[in-house]
Structure 1
Amino acid sequence: MNTSARHLTMESPLGLLAVSAVEAGVAYVHMGVEEVKDAWGPEEATPVLEAAVDQLEAYFAGELKEFDLPLAAQGTDFQHRVWDELCRIPYGETVSYMEVAERIGDRKAVRAVGLANGRNPIAIVVPCHRVIGANGKLTGYAGGLWRKERLLSLERGEPALFA
């Protein structure tokens, strides 16, 4: 267990979420939370966690299009390159895994991009839901394809589908 980690839980249109942070920033957004895990540290408000919950609530209300939070995800240099690129995908838009690979300068890394996308620990904040298959279809999402569809519906301005 990371002794500096703290977390807060919140209700969302996607179910219960838990947001974990360390001193440096948000480290994880846990979806489909049914039980609190020790690895998330104690449930305790910190300025970073309070800001994350506030911004997630504003996002779900359709009032926030870009997160402004310090991030502290653990990953390889390559994963961080992919996650940084995901943050550049504009709200309401989607791109393919190939497009992400091209944007990071390695067209041959499309499968590695898919793996890095799937290992994104800060879903929603780092918008991996905006990456779709080359054929325009939704592909894997760690939180479940129904959550990915709801997030994209919200960003397309279809709140009825999001509720």
Structure 2
Amino acid sequence: MNSDGREEQRIVWTVVDTAIGPLLLAATGDGLVSVEFHATDAVRERALERIAQRLGTEPVESPGSPLLAEAIRQVEAYFAGARRDFALPLDWSLVSGFNRQVLRELADGVPYGTVVGYGDLARRVGQPGAAQAVGIAMGSNPLPVVVPCHRVVESDGGIGGFGGGLETKRKLLALEGVLPEPLF
């Protein structure tokens, strides 16, 4: 318990090696709270500092934690081609409002192997014309891969932007059969 009598939230993290590079996974008692691409030492440290600031407690490295075990299994199965959907409890505390609404719709309504346009996703959440705001929501996604922002593309067929880099987005879409496998 902390000084005001509330139980302090525990945040655990680990890094998982994947086909797109190391991913940092962080979880609370409520579920997976953060996924971070390219989790080299410097990226990992910045991500953990951001999580600590936002949630008010220091994340603890704990690769064997039961809070992370299922997330690790599902992420590894996804990259092995043995899993298409994630069935994990998610802690949405790092995102709110419109962004949370858009990300929940993305997680629930855009299945593996499909894509959706920014404008289409805006319409789905009752905000036609908010395609640019959907792009901002994608950029704020604390749970990429699990909440599949890589499946959001431009209406003209362009791949769109991606916080993990366009090469990472191409690899994820190729894994799901949306794009041909990159040649190199």
Q: TM-score under structure 1 normalisation?
A: 0.92
1:11 is matched with which residue: 3, 14, 17? 17
In structure 1, how many angstroms separate the alpha carbons of the residues matched to 2:183 and 2:79?
Answer: 9
2:83 is matched with which residue: 64, 72, 87? 64
- Structure 1 unaligned residues grouped into runs of 5+: none
Question: Does 2:122 correspond to 1:105?
Answer: no
Question: Does 2:49 correspond to 1:43?
Answer: no
**For 1:60-118, what per-residue CA distance to the aligned partner results, in whole angstroms no more than 9, with x for missing partners?**
01111110001113212211110111111011000100000011111022111110111
Q: Which residue of 1 aligns with 2:167?
A: 146
SS in 2 for 1:68: coil
Larger radius of gyration: 2
In structure 2, how many angstroms separate the alpha carbons of the residues matched to 1:156 and 1:56?
Answer: 17
Contact 2:12 2:67 in 1 (8 A): no
1:20 is matched with which residue: 17, 23, 26? 26
In structure 2, how many angstroms separate the alpha carbons of the residues matched to 1:72 and 1:14?
Answer: 23
Contact 2:25 2:32 in 1 (8 A): yes
Question: Does 2:83 correspond to 1:83?
Answer: no
SS in 1 for 2:142: coil
SS in 2 for 1:84: helix
Question: Does 2:73 correspond to 1:54?
Answer: yes
Aligned length: 162
Contact 1:13 1:60 in 2 (8 A): yes
Decide whether aligned partners of structure 1 residues 159 and 16 sit closer, same or farther in structure 2, where only a CA change above 3 A counts: farther
Letter in 1 for 2:100: H
Q: TM-score under structure 2 normalisation?
A: 0.82
- Structure 2 unaligned residues grouped into runs of 5+: 1-7, 52-58
Letter in 1 for 2:151: R
**What RMSD over aligned residues (CA atoms) do the two structures have, in Å?**
2.0
Decide whether aligned partners of structure 1 residues 76 and 160 sit closer, same or farther in structure 2, where only a CA change above 3 A counts: closer
SS in 2 for 1:71: coil
